[in-house]
Amino acid sequence: MYQLCPSILSADFNRLGEQIKILEEEGIEWLHIDVMDGDFVPSISFGMPVIKSIRKESKLFFDVHLMVTEPERYIRDFVDCGADSITVHAEACEDLERTIEQIREAGVKVGVSIKPATPVNDISHMLEDVDMVLVMTVQPGFGGQKYLEECTEKIQELRDLIRDEDLNVDIQVDGGINDETMETVLKAGANLVVAGSYVFKDNLVSGVRHAKKRMNEVIREID
């Protein structure tokens, strides 16, 4: 299953509801929602009130990425306000295994994320317990960064591990996606691609159509 996952971090918040509706009309199924606390990462984004408000108007799959310290404190709150999936950072959890259990017990999909400097080996023992691994291909906390080439090998390593262990685990990438890197990450083994500024251009319709077209071109090459 391949999905383009637009990140609302790059949206025009004055037109957020309108832009989410455009994404739905253009066939997008997943919405990536970055929550940043100003502690785990330097930036602060938005939290539960925003998610709760857009949940009322949207049937999209809410892919919530918690870039926060000790995310286990907030799992239930984010589920209650509308998350369909919660991804936590391995580096942010005091007890990663317990946090993953909490997300599973809350009834939503489970994701674990690693920063560019974190080796795959740090989470390889957890693969059978998660639905998705998010590989950050830029430093978390800021939009518009350039893709870090060294992350390609990590995507490939993850895909090999998942294949070797015959697991049903998605690989998501987030950061620096453009026409060129879309091909790089998909061919390396990712199947969920987060895109911010690549999609949210002055003309959102053309932005999302272009990104979907490029994704489909690469998928056809892979198949």
CA distance 48 to 46: 7
| Residue 63 annotated in active site | no
Cα 210 → chain centroid: 20
CA atoms of 85 and 77, how far apart (whole Å) = 13
Q: Is 38 annotated as a binding residue?
A: no
Q: Has 174 been labeled as part of a binding site? A: yes
Q: DSSP letters along 128-162, please?
A: GG-SEEEEESS-TT-SSPPP-TTHHHHHHHHHHHH
122 is catalytic: no
Residue 196, annotated as binding a ligand: yes
Q: Which of 12, 34, 122, 202 is catalytic?
A: 34
123, HSE (Cβ side, Cα atoms, 13 Å):
33
Q: What is the DSSP letter of 130?
A: -
Q: Which of 37, 63, 170, 174 is catalytic?
A: 174
Residue 144 marked ligand-binding: yes
Q: Binding site annotation covers 89?
A: no
143 is in an annotated binding site: yes
Question: What three-state secondary structure class fits 56?
Answer: coil
SS3 60: coil
Asked if residue 32 belongs to a known ligand binding site, the reply is yes
* Residues in contact with 60: Cβ distance below 8 Å, sequence separation at least 6, in sequence order: 20, 23, 24, 28, 29, 30, 31
Which residues are known catalytic residues? 34, 174
Annotated binding site for substrate: 7, 65, 141-144, 174-176, 196-197
Annotated binding site: 7, 32, 34, 65, 141-144, 174-176, 196-197
